[in-house]
Amino acid sequence: MCVSKCLRCVGVALVALAIVCIVANLLLLLPELKLHFLLEGHVTREASWATGLWSSGLLIMLGARAFLQSSQTTGCCAFRTQMLRQAMYSCACLLSSAFCCLVSVTGLVQGPLCLYNATSGPTWGVPLKPTADRDAGYLYNISMWSGVCLEPRGVVQWNLVLFSVLGGASGLQALLCAANLINTLLGVLLGRGPSDHKV
């Protein structure tokens, strides 16, 4: 078992996934790549929570930094103490990435905030939101993607792709953090591995 190498690999992978989450969330905040939708508050609620920026972005990067630094710890007691710390970091990262994944899936199912034709005229709202008599069938009905929302243009596809990327990346982060948690707990119990016993 090589706990240090696993920590290093997980840390590098988490940094790459955190960058993907940050970029996806920034793009979700800028439909049509225009700032005025954000300034006017016409951005999907789950995107405006910015979980890709702080939860699966900044917090995961802090955890990844700790994983990369602790992969160079030497000495049996220092190593085990560091592994306990890494278990706590892994738990925190697991929770934050799982939260981002949950918010992303919710945003995907709810549909985007957009300008649409209501009975009272053009209105800002969430027209594709599941109701008691309608599920999130818009995900499978491509004809609804361009026929419901008037503004921002292509917002259904925009949200669909970016929330999928954000949910997938944060879900992968959660899996890596769960695996890292198991790895660090094994490190506490078993030590570094065969190299601990070399004379």
Domain contains 75: yes
**At 57, which amino acid appears?**
G
- Which residues, in sequence order, are CB contacts of 122 under 8 Å at separation 6+? 115, 116, 150
Domain contains 92: yes
CB atoms within 10 A of CB 35: 10
pLDDT-derived band at 73 (thresholds 50, 70, 90) equals low
Domain contains 117: no
SS3 150: strand
Domain contains 188: yes
Q: Give the pTM.
A: 0.86
Task: Please check the confidence at residue 1 and state whether its pLDDT lies above 50.
Answer: no
Q: What is the mean pLDDT of the chain?
A: 86
pLDDT of residue 199: 33
CB 99 within 8 A of CB 60: no
**At 54, which amino acid appears?**
W
pLDDT-derived band at 198 (thresholds 50, 70, 90) equals very low
CB 128 within 8 A of CB 139: no
Domain contains 11: yes
- What is the extent of the structural domain holding 176? 3-112+157-197
Domain contains 48: yes
Domain contains 145: no
CA distance 140 to 79: 50
Using one digit for the tens of pLDDT, what is the confidence trace for 93-140?
999 999 999 999 999 999 999 999 988 899 999 998 887 766 667 888
Domain contains 128: no
Please give the tally of structural domains in the chain: 1
pLDDT of residue 191: 64
Separation of CA 114 from chain center? 23
Q: What is each CA distance from 89 to 33, 37, 46, 92, 122, in whole angstroms?
A: 35, 36, 25, 5, 48
Locate 67 and state its tokens: 């994983």
Buried b (16+ CB within 10 A) or exposed e, 120-144: eeeeeeebbeeeeeeeeebbeeeeb
